Structure formats: C-alpha cells, structure tokens
Amino acid sequence: MKVAIQGEMGSFSHEAARRMVAGCSLVPCARSVEVFDRLERGSVAAAVIPIENSLAGSVTEHLDLLSARKVFIQREFRLRIVHNLIAVPGVRLGDVRRAFSHPVALDQCRDFFRHRPRIEPTPFYDTAGSVKHVIAGGLRDAAGIAGRQAAKVYKGRILASGIEDDKRNFTRFFLLRRRPSIVPGANKTSIAFRVKNIPGALFKALSVFALREISLSKIESRPLRGRPWEYVFYVDFLRGDDEPARNALRHLAEVSDLVKVLGIYPAA
C-alpha cells in the first residue's frame, strides 16, 4: 500500500506511518498540500499527517486542509517526540550558529535556544529534511533538529539529544483515506462546524453535546478564509457512530451553517 507522508524519509511522519500501516510503501511529500492532492487523486491509498503537538499545539494548515478536502480520518496515533541536534560528522556543538527544522519542532525547543543565544533557530520545511539539507550541503556552521532516525538515514552526528522543552512531548497523527471508512472500535469523532454570527450561537451548538452527556476532548477555532472575522470550529468528541452521536450531529446541523464530519476512529 502506498502512503503519502509530509516530510522526508526519517521524519516523525515516517515513523508514525510505519507503526500505523504495516508493510506500507511511503511517498514523501515536501508540502502538506501535496499529501492531500495525492490522496484525492488516488495516486496513494492513504496519507499520514501530524495534527497536534502536546507542546506547540495544532498544525493549523492541516486543520484547514481537513476542512476543505474530501478525505476521512480513519485512525489516530500518538508518537513520543525526542528532538536531536544533528550535524555533519566532525562538527562540534560550539561550531553551530544555525539550527534548521520545521517551525513546529523549533517551537518545542525554546529552552534550548534560550540557553544558547549564539544558535539561531531557522525554519525549514521538514525535520528530517533539515538534516538532509545540512549533510548534503556539508554545512559546518549549521545543524538540523530531528529524530534519531534522521541521523541514521543521512549519516549525521548527534550533538545533543532530548532537546525538547518537556519530556512529555507527543505528536498526534492522523491516518487519512479518500472515502469514509469506520474501523471496529471507533469511539472518537472529529468534526468542523460553522455557526451564525448571532448571540448565543456557539452556546447552542455546544449544548447539543452537553444535553447528551457527550464529552468533548478538544475545541478550537480557525479563521474562515474569504469571510473576515468569521470562524470554523473544530471539535473532537468521545463517541463513535452511535445513536447519541448521530442525534447530536443532526441537532448541531439545525443550529449551524455547516457541519462536516472529518472522521470517526478509535481513540489512541
């Protein structure tokens, strides 16, 4: 099975995909939109994307793409994230002046940079890709921040390990499919909805879950493109495809302008 991932081989998405889909053939993509394009076109059977980090929060671009594209969340997976500073063999920590990595990864290593002001955090498109860039370019004043697997794949040297701010650092990943497919044991649902801009609209929307004693595990908002100061709300709730959940979604549709089920899947 071909599975598209955001990032290079050796990335955290690579590791998550290997754990979620045994024996899969991975298709690395430099940009997130390419992952969704490949899945919608059918050139891959599935895709794996990071959606939320316990330190840095949500990957907002992926929330927007989930809302806009015709894809379905089939599974979720939580991966413990350990960040390492990786350089060309022979380079010492004192030589490093720039550290490349994905912005979300850099945001998880604030304390590292605060204690080493000589090293400038430099955004890059991918964690493992930053290591590939440093090693391929033979950069002796730079390093990449990525997982241990990236050092192995690109033959880099780990200068510092475990540089994330908190050891309870996890990233949640989604396994996406083109069409809705609910696997056995699905007990969690992700949705996106938009309410009318009137007093009490959000209260009424959330009350459909409270009335049925459905627990929400997450809620956040994102700006609605093309409609300034209007928002889409993203909610995860702890029910699968059962009668209370279906009734709540029907009720939500009555008080909202838009309701989209993003996925129904087993909670990790």
Q: Is 169 helix (H, G, I), strand (E, B) or coil?
A: coil
How far is residue 192's CA from residue 264's CA, in Å, rounded to a whole number?
Answer: 13
Catalytic status, residue 60: no
How many CB atoms within 10 Å of residue 238?
A: 14
**Alpha-helical segments (H) within 28-168:** 32-41, 60-68, 103-107, 110-115, 127-137, 148-154
**Which among 103, 126, 106, 121 is positioned nearest to 31, based on CA atoms?**
126
Catalytic status, residue 174: no
The two tokens of residue 133 are 């860039």
Catalytic, out of 100, 171, 189, 209 = 171
Catalytic, out of 12, 77, 124, 173 = 173
142, β-bridge pairs: 98
How far is residue 156's CA from residue 1's CA, in Å, rounded to a whole number?
Answer: 30
How far is residue 156's CA from residue 164's CA, in Å, rounded to a whole number?
Answer: 19
How far is residue 156's CA from residue 142's CA, in Å, rounded to a whole number?
Answer: 12
Q: Is 111 helix (H, G, I), strand (E, B) or coil?
A: helix
* Angle, in degrees to the nearest 10, between helices 127-137 and 12-20: 130
Catalytic center residues:
171, 173
